[in-house]
Structure 1
Amino acid sequence: MKFEIKSIKDLKKVINCIKKSSKKIIILSGTLGSGKTTLVKEFVKEEIKKDEVTSPTFAIQNIYEGNIYHYDLFNKGIEDFLSLGMLEELDKDGYHFIEWGEELEDILKRYGFEYLKIIIKLEGDKRIIECQNF
């Protein structure tokens, strides 16, 4: 499914796509500043009414109430993700948002994890967000 996003309010369409999916692992793909963390923030805000969401760029993982896990592989990368035992974390009940997780896709497939991939593209003053099931 593709969505045209012109404002924060439009992210509700993408959040509904995530909630309707049976996949609880969500790979977030997009350029720096495209809105990956903003999407997670809006999801967390809707689920648990919490505004304080930041990207776990240096920590690699943030955990929010309601079993919402947020990972960022931008600085640490896939090697650190695996060596820190984060792959086992994906077995936990809840939503798992992984920013910059494209390199992780082959590993997820190899271990039988199903996931939703969200691709964010900037086009002028709007964003095009596509949700793909794997």
Structure 2
Amino acid sequence: MKRETIDLEAGLEELPRVAERMIEQIPEDAVIALRGDLAAGKTTLAQAIAASLGLEESVTSPTFSLQHAYGNRLFHYDLYRVGFDELAQLGLLEEFERPGRHLVEWMDDRLKAFLAAAGYNLWQVTILPEGDRRIYRIEHLNA
């Protein structure tokens, strides 16, 4: 089966368009791995997605709390300091069962493999720098 991939190029001012396209493309009940180097714009993209969904809450990186929930349908994780085993020990794997979009920064390969094997609708958005712009590569990993 062919993997579905879309590349969108945008500057910061065009990020709302990227977020809207993601919302159109990616179903509501999905786990979305946000990949990119440090300071690539993963949290900024999460902010744009929340705004496009009409959420007015302040979106920040959940670096120390591991997860923030916005409304009852958008969940944002930062797993920079946490591996799969620790995530399981903390009981956070069950969080992915909640209906809604789950944005995961720094998802490791073990978590990705676990979620795919468990049948979650798994997507990945890779943020690639292109001068002062970014390329947002959107891939459906279960396709």
Q: TM-score, normalised by structure 2?
A: 0.84
**Residue in structure 2 matched with residue 37 of structure 1 by the alignment:** 43
- Partners in 1 of 2:13 and 2:117 — Cα distance? 35
**Residue of 110, 114, 119 corresponding to 1:107:** 114
3-state SS of the aligned residue for 2:97? coil
- Taking only aligned residues, the RMSD between alpha carbons, in angstroms, comes to 1.7
Q: Does 1:27 align with 2:33?
A: yes
Q: TM-score, normalised by structure 1?
A: 0.89
Closer, same or farther: CA 19–66 of 1 in aligned 2, 3 Å: farther
Kindly report which structure 2 residues correspond to 1:69-88, keeping only aligned pairs within 5 A, or say none: 69-88=75-94
The answer as to whether partners of 1:5 and 1:127 remain within 8 angstroms in 2 is: yes
Q: Which amino acid aligns with 2:113?
A: D
| Bigger shift: residues 69-78 or 13-22 | 13-22
Structure 1: runs of 5+ lacking an equivalent: none
**Residue in structure 1 matched with residue 20 of structure 2 by the alignment:** 15
| Bigger shift: residues 31-40 or 116-125 | 116-125
How many pairs are equivalent? Answer: 134
TM-aligned CA deviation for residue 51 of structure 1: 4.8
Query: C-alpha offsets along residues 93-123 of structure 1, whole Å, 9 cap, x if unaligned?
Result: 1110000113221111221212110000112
Closer, same or farther: CA 26–40 of 1 in aligned 2, 3 Å: same
- Partners in 2 of 1:2 and 1:14 — Cα distance? 13
- Partners in 2 of 1:79 and 1:11 — Cα distance? 35
3-state SS of the aligned residue for 1:50? coil
3-state SS of the aligned residue for 1:97? strand
Closer, same or farther: CA 10–44 of 1 in aligned 2, 3 Å: closer
- Partners in 1 of 2:15 and 2:64 — Cα distance? 29
- Partners in 2 of 1:115 and 1:106 — Cα distance? 10
Structure 2: runs of 5+ lacking an equivalent: 1-5
Q: Which amino acid aligns with 1:131?
A: I
